[in-house]
Chains A and B, each alone.
Chain A
Amino acid sequence: GAVVSQHPSWVICKSGTSVKIECRSLDFQATTMFWYRQFPKQSLMLMATSNEGSKATYEQGVEKDKFLINHASLTLSTLTVTSAHPEDSSFYICSADDRSNYGYTFGSGTRLTVV
């Protein structure tokens, strides 16, 4: 079946630094990928829709200058958390539509801790 690989699976960074998270579709092409954020014991909140070759579409309340999304190819989308703060610590998950009509495929998530 379709596989989405997310890297890294966990990262610890210092306040003020930037962190890049990669989301790759391994055996299919994804013109659209989605980035979610999940705080402990809460649901997934859609942050943005990543569109290959064009600008990402951000959900209301998500700062596009802080969460930079690049979808440069049909198999790779990246999320960069810029000038990270402790409140950005969260679980970030990406997903892609594998066109199988059986739902979207999710990555395994990235646990970000900002210290």
Chain B
Amino acid sequence: SQQGEEDPQALSIQEGENATMNCSYKTSINNLQWYRQNSGRGLVHLILIRSNEREKHSGRLRVTLDTSKKSSSLLITASRAADTASYFCATDANTGNQFYFGTGTSLTVIP
């Protein structure tokens, strides 16, 4: 399976703290994306990082990519209660345009 793995599976933090989630994958990729999903809803695209990029920022989000380790991390700074959701990384196989999702991290931000 090309599905990646994320850790931790669940994370609970206080509002204002930073949250870090990690994603590891198995095959070479072109792109890695992070998505957010509120319970029972569709996915919202957060950020895309290409294989030749090492770090990317978007607002309170910071994503890093280490292709040598086949891993990525998502950092959410100054977390808010509204950030409570599940976060998934998704990777494309080098040879196709399908995206495969990691196992996800369930983030709870306590007000």
**Is B101 in contact with A44, judged by CB distance below 8 angstroms?**
yes
> Which listed residue, B3, B33, B44, touches A43 by the CB 8 Å rule?
B3
Q: Is A46 an interface residue (CB 8 A)?
A: yes
> Mask for B27-70, Cβ within 8 A of A = 1, else 0?
00000010100001111110110000000000000000000000
Nearest chain-B residue to A4 (Cβ)? B42
> Which listed residue, B42, B45, B47, touches A93 by the CB 8 Å rule?
B42
**Is B41 in contact with A49, judged by CB distance below 8 angstroms?**
no
**Which of A14-22, A69-77, A81-89, A104-112 lies at the binding interface?**
A104-112
Assuming A34-B99, A43-B103, A49-B98, is B42 touching A103 (CB within 8 A)?
Answer: no
Assuming A106-B42, A111-B40, is B97 touching A43 (CB within 8 A)?
Answer: no
Question: Total interface residues on B, using CB and 8 Å?
Answer: 21
Nearest chain-A residue to B88 (Cβ)? A43
Secondary structure dominating the interface of A: strand
**Is B48 in contact with A101, judged by CB distance below 8 angstroms?**
yes
> Which listed residue, B42, B44, B88, B99, touches A46 by the CB 8 Å rule?
B99
Contacting residues, chain B, for A28 (C-beta < 8 A): none
CA separation between A109 and B100, bound complex, in Å?
A: 17
> Which listed residue, A34, A36, A105, touches B45 by the CB 8 Å rule?
A105
Contacting residues, chain A, for B98 (C-beta < 8 A): 34, 46, 49
Contacting residues, chain B, for A43 (C-beta < 8 A): 3, 88, 101-104
Chain B 71-111 residues near chain A, CB threshold 8 A: 88, 97-104, 106
Residues of chain A having any CB pair with chain B under 8 Å: 6, 32, 34, 36, 41-46, 49, 91, 93, 95, 97, 101-109, 111
